[in-house]
């Protein structure tokens, strides 16, 4: 049996689900894309190839093996994108919450049934179906749970708005001792430079006390400022819209002092190292074309 434990983004990782790029279905039709960055690469004929993405994900698995982390992979569904394991569910403390994910992605959850059967069934829950939520929007942080949302009345028009306030309320009810803080995110169906698809596309805590942040990802200046004040301006690494587009906030911590990052993130990786953090560099630029990166393709089950 797996004893779930996740209370933050950085504690030493012991077990994780890593998505898979195998049989991901090839280039989607324009109308089937569900994020603007994939859309852009479909239009420009630069959509990533399966073999390249498989290789990139293998490099991540190698890092996990090197650190003795137990790795689970989804069961294969033919011609279906299963790269972004993060969004299909998430662990807070000892509970696995199945996501109420975008209907286009619903089958991804069935593919981790062999992992869920190793978890105490009383510790697996799902919110009512109108409470939309995906793991990319949820970050436990000690006494806090940070959640990315879209609160606009035009929520239904945005295929990249995946978490709503009903889910924030459901989370607060489920974890009454935690302070659930939500952040209204900027959404664009068409411009990946102006789209924070999930909270982890514009923010992530890293190390003992630091955070990566992109101001324009937030619709409310005071909510962005709350995070700056929470971590302290001197501990925040602010990224540009170009860096957000390349998904710099979507690295993945496997310990307070070890981070898996993309090899081209020169400015970020240099800053991380200057803070005493070991950076395990992997190639992930092809995966990045689908508007997700390392945090998006991993679902932590057990941290220390
Ligand atoms: N946690 C994340 N940011 N996940 C990114 C998922 C990207 C994927 N193309 C989607 O639109 O669903």
Cβ of 86 closer than 6 Å to ligand 1, yes or no, is yes
pLDDT band of 99, cuts 50, 70, 90: very high
Q: State residue 199's pLDDT score.
A: 98
SS3 sequence of the chain: CCCCEECCCCCCEEEEEECECCCCCCCCCHHHCCCHHHHHHHHCCCCCCHHHHHHHHHHHHHHHHHCCCEEECCCCCCCCCECCHHHHEEEEECEEEECECCHHHCHHHHCCHHHHCCCCHHHEEECCCCCCECHHHEEEECCEEEEEECCCCCHHHCCCCCCCHHHHHHHHHHCCCCEEEEEEECCCCCCHHHCCCCHHHCEEEECCCEEEECHHHECCHHHHHHHHHHHCHHHEEECCHHHHHCCHHHCEEEECCEEEEECCCHHHHHHHHHCCCEEEEECCHHHHCCCCCCCCCEEEEEEC
pLDDT band of 219, cuts 50, 70, 90: very high
At 221-274, the pLDDT tens digits run 999 999 999 999 999 999 999 999 999 999 999 999 999 999 999 999 999 999
Cβ of 81 closer than 6 Å to ligand 1, yes or no, is no
User: Which residue has its alpha carbon closest to ligand 1 atom 9?
Assistant: 290
User: Which atom of ligand 1 has the smallest separation from the CA of 200?
Assistant: 3
Distance 135 CA to ligand 1 centre (A): 10
Distance 100 CA to ligand 1 centre (A): 14
Cβ of 73 closer than 6 Å to ligand 1, yes or no, is no
pLDDT band of 78, cuts 50, 70, 90: very high
User: Which residue has its alpha carbon closest to ligand 1 atom 6?
Assistant: 292
User: Which atom of ligand 1 has the smallest separation from the CA of 137?
Assistant: 1
User: Which atom of ligand 1 has the smallest separation from the CA of 162?
Assistant: 12
Distance 299 CA to ligand 1 centre (A): 13
pLDDT band of 207, cuts 50, 70, 90: very high
Contacts of 71 (CB under 8 A, 6+ apart): 15, 16, 17, 18, 61, 64, 65
Q: State residue 294's pLDDT score.
A: 98
User: Which atom of ligand 1 has the smallest separation from the CA of 105?
Assistant: 12
Distance 84 CA to ligand 1 centre (A): 6
Average pLDDT over residues 163-187: 98
User: Which atom of ligand 1 has the smallest separation from the CA of 135?
Assistant: 1
Distance 72 CA to ligand 1 centre (A): 19
Q: State residue 301's pLDDT score.
A: 98
Domains of the chain: 13-303 (3.75.10.10)
| pTM tops 0.95, yes or no | yes
Cβ of 137 closer than 6 Å to ligand 1, yes or no, is no
Q: State residue 69's pLDDT score.
A: 98
ipTM score assigned to the predicted complex: 0.95
Cβ of 56 closer than 6 Å to ligand 1, yes or no, is no
Average model confidence (pLDDT) across the chain: 98
At 7-61, the pLDDT tens digits run 999 999 999 999 999 999 999 999 999 999 999 999 999 999 999 999 999 999 9
């Amino acid at each position: 049996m797996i004893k779930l434990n996740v209370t933050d983004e950085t504690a030493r990782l012991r077990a994780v689900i890593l998505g898979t790029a195998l049989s991901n279905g090839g280039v989607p039709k324009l109308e089937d894309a569900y994020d603007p960055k994939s859309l852009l690469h479909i239009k420009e004929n630069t959509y990533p190839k399966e073999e390249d993405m498989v290789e990139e994900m293998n490099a991540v698995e190698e890092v996990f093996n090197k650190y003795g982390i137990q790795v689970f992979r989804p069961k294969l569904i033919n011609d279906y994108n299963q790269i972004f394991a993060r969004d299909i569910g998430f662990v807070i403390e000892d509970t696995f919450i199945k996501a109420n994910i975008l209907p286009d992605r619903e089958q991804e959850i069935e593919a981790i049934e062999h992992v869920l059967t190793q978890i105490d069934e009383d510790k697996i829950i799902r919110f009512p179906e109108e409470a939309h939520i995906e793991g990319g929007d949820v970050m436990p942080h000690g006494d806090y749970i940070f959640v990315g949302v879209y609160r606009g009345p035009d929520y239904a028009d945005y295929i990249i708005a995946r978490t709503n306030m009903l889910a924030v309320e459901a989370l607060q009810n489920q974890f009454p001792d935690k302070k659930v803080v939500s952040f209204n995110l900027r959404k664009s169906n068409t411009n990946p430079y102006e789209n924070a698809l999930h909270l982890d596309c514009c923010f992530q805590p890293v190390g003992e006390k630091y955070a990566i942040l992109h101001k324009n990802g937030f619709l409310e200046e005071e909510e962005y400022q709350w995070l700056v004040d929470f971590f302290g301006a001197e501990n925040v690494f602010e990224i540009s819209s170009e860096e957000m587009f390349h998904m710099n906030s979507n690295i993945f911590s496997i310990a307070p002092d070890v981070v898996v990052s993309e090899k081209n993130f020169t400015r970020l990786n240099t800053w991380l190292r200057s803070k005493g953090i070991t950076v395990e560099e992997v190639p992930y630029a092809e995966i990045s074309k689908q508007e997700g990166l390392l945090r998006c393709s991993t679902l932590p089950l057990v941290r220390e």
